[in-house]
Structure 1
């Protein structure tokens, strides 16, 4: 089956979901409630134009959204940026500033990261509910979506669960698949930091060194330390919720099942020096995102926006203008 046939089939499935909603409404169901809860037909959810909207509302009943911390800049079509595991919006301020001359940029902290609230649930469904609630709060009907690593997986889940809310998808150095537990050394290094007696970030980098050998990774993690004054004494704390991140790690390393409902343009940016997106992953990317394309940055590894900022921004801007056709124009 070629890509055009698959996209056509995908669109027919989406149309079928709309028809299913109409039928359910005629049977007197409100899909903002459990599906076995009948109500008068005249009170069915007339404002819900798409079955996925109703499903999203039932998901919110199961997952209480937290109010995400975010920074907003620029104007125009909205772009939402989501960082990766152990990160924060601070890692993406440069990209946000670059895009703000053309777009309305929403750069956010995921739950349990940065300045966003902590919660015990770090499932993709819960994180998706947070982002959709933020969009509703800001009055964003639709947006372009950009996510890196953990944020890239979340971007895929969001686009699949609520395809009507997103016009374009950018996934940075992650594929729609499960990954091995590659970060056990990172968690060991973080646990090795003696927060109660820590004098500086430099000391933290040194303490992590027995488990984390890459100095760039140690510096990235140490940037997530914040200093608080408690009872007249200095105290260092992680900005991320280390306990929940570690407890949820096996779950976040997996990939929720996708239905292939997002038929819009989807750009997957990979670093040539990274093992996160492999050549064989193209088949699963196109399977789940039939409008997808892959762009490789030869100078980059897992942080393309840092390791090749010019190449990264060039690809993003061309994609936002012309979709995957624009990627052929990049240098």
Structure 2
């Protein structure tokens, strides 16, 4: 599957940016702009997200193939690969599957683990709430926000989900394939059992207030990525690059420069 992507910058090494679940390439706009002074930056909409095609199913291997099909003809490899959350898991699977194509790897606030039943149930609740939103009856985005908040008691998450709500043909609709994501959510919540390791340099950037990258996952992390280092951004939650862009770039850019030689 060929993906929609945004490209910015005209020279230097290539950097691929991969968004998280329910996100899209625009989530990286500010970071991409900052990196474009030194790099050629590609931000992707993953399948079932944004402007990319929909499919009935998605897993990390299919999404890795999507990246290959989209970019291999352009002769961009090897690249610096940066992924947040779902995109971080995808970046890890890509690096483990195609290590020769990855110059360095940056994983943002996620670990190579199965996040278990509690996280799965939370995603199922979010997806069901989005599916049940009465799109044909909506008059305003504020109305949609209030309806979602009745079930999803987190305004930050609701506002993030609403970045997928668009007004077209005189009604609201989701610019995200909820059915395809719902059919795949167990695979996305987990991490494939890969008998491989990535020999290159890897940087894990975590939010200090987030619980997605905990000490209990470090053994698994070091097995797959023996040259990994972990940096925690102070007072940041799960959306590290959005909440603390300056501090995020202060960790990211030196790492990319060290591994661009």
Interval of TM-score (by shorter of Structure 1 and Structure 2): over 0.9
Q: 2:131 aligns with which of 166, 191, 198?
A: 191
1:68 aligned onto 2:3: yes
Q: Could you say what the CA RMSD is over the residues aligned between the two structures, in angstroms?
A: 1.1
Query: Shift of residue 280 of structure 1?
Result: 2.2
Query: Shift of residue 228 of structure 1?
Result: 1.0
Q: What is residue 203 of structure 1 aligned with on the other side?
A: 143
Contact 1:201 1:223 in 2 (8 A): no
Name the CA distance, whole Å, in 1 between partners of 2:64 and 2:52: 14
In the alignment of these two chains, the number of paired residues is 254
Aligned ranges 1:135-284 → 2 under 5 Å: 135-180=71-116, 181=120, 182-229=122-169, 234-284=170-220
Name the CA distance, whole Å, in 1 between partners of 2:88 and 2:33: 20
Q: 1:87 aligns with which of 15, 23, 29?
A: 23
1:131 aligned onto 2:61: no
Query: Shift of residue 322 of structure 1?
Result: 2.3
TM-score under structure 1 normalisation? 0.75
Of residues 150-159 and 184-193 in structure 1, the stretch that sits farther from structure 2 once superposed is 184-193
Structure 2: gaps spanning 5 or more residues:
none
Name the CA distance, whole Å, in 1 between partners of 2:148 and 2:95: 36
TM-superposition CA deviations, 1:214-251 (whole Å, max 9, x none) = 1111111111111111xxxx121111100111111111
**Structure with greater contact order relative to length (CA < 8 Å, sep ≥ 6):** 2
TM-superposition CA deviations, 1:283-320 (whole Å, max 9, x none) = 21111101111110121110000111111011000111
- Which entry has the higher C-alpha Rg, 1 or 2? 1
Name the CA distance, whole Å, in 2 between partners of 1:251 and 1:115: 22
- 2:80 is paired with a residue whose SS is strand
Query: Shift of residue 267 of structure 1?
Result: 0.6
Q: What is residue 37 of structure 2 aligned with on the other side?
A: 101
Contact 2:8 2:32 in 1 (8 A): yes
1:115 aligned onto 2:51: yes
- 2:213 is paired with a residue whose SS is coil
Contact 1:175 1:281 in 2 (8 A): yes
Name the CA distance, whole Å, in 1 between partners of 2:12 and 2:194: 30
Contact 1:260 1:289 in 2 (8 A): no
Name the CA distance, whole Å, in 2 between partners of 1:287 and 1:101: 34
Query: Shift of residue 278 of structure 1?
Result: 0.4
Structure 1: gaps spanning 5 or more residues:
1-65, 324-331
TM-superposition CA deviations, 1:187-219 (whole Å, max 9, x none) = 233133111111121111111011111111111
Contact 1:145 1:166 in 2 (8 A): yes
TM-superposition CA deviations, 1:94-151 (whole Å, max 9, x none) = 1110100000000110010000001112011111100011221322121000011111
TM-score under structure 2 normalisation? 0.94
Contact 1:83 1:92 in 2 (8 A): yes
- 2:55 is paired with a residue whose SS is coil
Of residues 236-245 and 133-142 in structure 1, the stretch that sits farther from structure 2 once superposed is 133-142
Query: Shift of residue 259 of structure 1?
Result: 2.7
